[in-house]
Amino acid sequence: MTALSPAEFIWMDGRLVPWDDAQVHVLTQSLHYGWAVYEGIRAHETAAGQAVFRLRDHIARLRRSARVYLMDIPYTDDELIAATTELIGAGGPGPRYVRPLVYLGYGSMGVALDLSAVRVTIAAWAWEEQPTRNWRLMTSSWRRNHQDTIPPLAKATGAYLNSSLAKIAAVRAGYDDALLLTASGHISESSAANVFLVSSGVLHTPPVEQGILPGITRSTVLELADVAGIPTVERPLSHAEAYTADEIFLTGTAIGIVPVESVDDRRTTTEGCGPVTEALRDAYREAVGGKSPAAADWLTEV
Ligand code: PMP
């Protein structure tokens, strides 16, 4: 759980409104049917001021998610990018978490949703927090949404019923996060992050076709591994491979790169942050912090 730290404004349907006035009607369609798509983006402090990491890629994924759910976003990518930087700029200096949401507003009620009622909002608030210790994972008894049920490649609010069921159960059992398996029993992802295993110096992660969110941090890590000369393989991973890996880590915009020390109480060989995880975490921090000239294209200055 992360407490909200209110900012001055929220961008709603084309204009900045005061934080407390950013309200919706209780009969908002998305509230009843979970039909909305969203993004989680971060702006980091760099030597040149605030910069948003891979903003264009996040907006592109938002639009792809919206397409799955038949919602036409009535703004161009450039307009959404300008809205995001305007909003962050209006909030003053410091790191930010940014949450665009595309949803169906008030207007009708029923499963045959009124798809013309598309609304767009973007919120940004101060958020520096990141896990500082290694995580212990518990395999969830809940399976990841099946691709033919609720496709995990779209970041839809309703899909997070599955993530929250798994995360809450794991936290109640004393773990940091859940490891979710696909319907076929392969490793998919955690409640809100992608999973990587390191075995004999090779980086392994499940392919997107297996039913995971195509994480932007995941794709960043694959590129950084390539630059660092770390071999990578995208392939289906059996559950038990999580018990024999040398290193395991999670990737996500909110958490960055978090080393995993155990899965179901089986400790990784390195029992925490191994050398491959550490090298990639350092490279990632440099990229988001604007300290890597090669990663400059990934940053949008505010
Ligand atoms: N999987 C799930 C289910 C997620 O919610 C997230 C967070 N958006 C991720 C993976 C990681 O994606 P990203 O690196 O783009 O934040």
Residues with catalytic annotation?
155
**CA of 219, closest atom in ligand 1:** 14
Q: How far, rounded to the nearest angstrom, does the alpha carbon of residue 68 sit from its chain's CA centroid?
A: 18
Residue at which a domain ends, from 126, 144, 169: 126
- Residue 3, domain member (yes or no): no
Which residue, by CA, sits nearest to atom 5 of ligand 1? 192
pLDDT at 3: 75
Kindly state whether residues 115 and 151 are assigned to the same domain. Answer: no
Closest CA to 41 of 92, 80, 67: 80
Mean pLDDT across the chain? 96
Task: Kindly state the average pLDDT of the residues 237-259.
Answer: 97
pLDDT > 80? residue 193? yes
CA distances from 201 to 67, 130, 196, 198, 246 (A): 38, 26, 12, 6, 8
Q: Ligand 1 atom closest to Cα of 61?
A: 15
Q: Which residues line ligand 1 (CB under 6 A)?
A: 40, 163, 189, 192-194, 213, 215-218, 251-253
Domain stop point among 74, 106, 126: 126
Looking at residue 116, which CATH number applies to its domain? 3.30.470.10
| Cα 132 to middle of ligand 1, angstroms | 19
pLDDT recorded at residue 58: 98
Kindly report, residue by residue over 96-114, the tens digit of the pLDDT: 999 999 999 999 999 999 9
Same domain, 92 and 218: no
Instruction: Report the residue among 64, 179, 213 best suited for mutation to probe ligand 1: largest number of ligand atoms under 8 A from its CB.
Output: 213
> Higher model confidence: residue 172 or residue 48?
172
Read off the tokens for 180: 């979710």
Q: What is the pLDDT of residue 260?
A: 98
* DSSP letter, residue 182: P
Confidence band of 1 (pLDDT split at 50, 70, 90)? low
Give the position, in ligand 1's atom list, of the atom nearest the Cα of 58.
15
Q: Are residues 155 and 179 in the same domain?
A: yes
Segment 107-125 mean pLDDT: 97
pLDDT of residue 293 exceeding 90: no
Q: Which DSSP helix (H) or strand (E) runs through 189? A: strand 187-190
Number of domains in the chain: 2
The CA distance from 167 to 140, in Å, is: 8
Confidence label for 5 from pLDDT (cuts 50, 70 and 90): confident
Cβ pair 298, 53 in contact under 8 A? yes
241 and 282 co-located in one domain = yes
Q: What percentage of the chain carries pLDDT values higher than 70?
A: 99
Q: Which of 80, 97, 126 is the last residue of a domain?
A: 126
Confirm whether 96 is domain-assigned.
yes
* Phi, psi (degrees; rounded to nearest 5) at 115: -75, -5
Q: The domain containing residue 70 runs over which residues? A: 9-126
Among 59, 253, 257, 258, the mutation site with the greatest number of ligand 1 atoms within 8 A of its Cβ is 253
**pTM assigned to the model:** 0.97
Task: Tell whether 157 and 197 lie within a shared domain.
Answer: yes
**Ligand 1, atom 12: nearest CA belongs to which residue?**
215
> Quick one: 119 and 258 in the same domain?
no
Q: Which of 274, 254, 260 is nearest to 136 (CA)?
A: 260
100 with 160, same domain?
A: no
pLDDT band at 294, cuts 50/70/90?
confident
Ligand 1 centroid to Cα of residue 207, in Å, is 14
**Residue with CA closest to ligand 1 atom 10:** 193
Closest by Cα among 85, 112, 111, 109 to 98: 85
The verdict on 246 and 122 lying in the same domain is no
Confidence at residue 143, expressed as pLDDT on a 0 to 100 scale: 98
User: Both 117 and 152 in a single domain?
Assistant: no
Over the stretch 45-73, which tens digit does the pLDDT of each residue have? Answer: 999 899 999 999 999 999 999 999 999 99
Asked if residue 80 belongs to a domain, the reply is yes
At 115 the three-state DSSP class reads: coil
Please give the distance of CA 278 from its chain centroid, rounded to a whole number: 20
Indicate whether 2 pLDDT > 80: no
pLDDT tens per residue across span 67-76: 999 999 999 9
In a domain, 298, yes or no: no
Distances (CA, A) of 162 to 52, 80, 210: 29, 28, 16
Residues 263 and 144 in one domain: yes
Pair (113, 166) in one structural domain? no
DSSP three-state, residue 125: strand
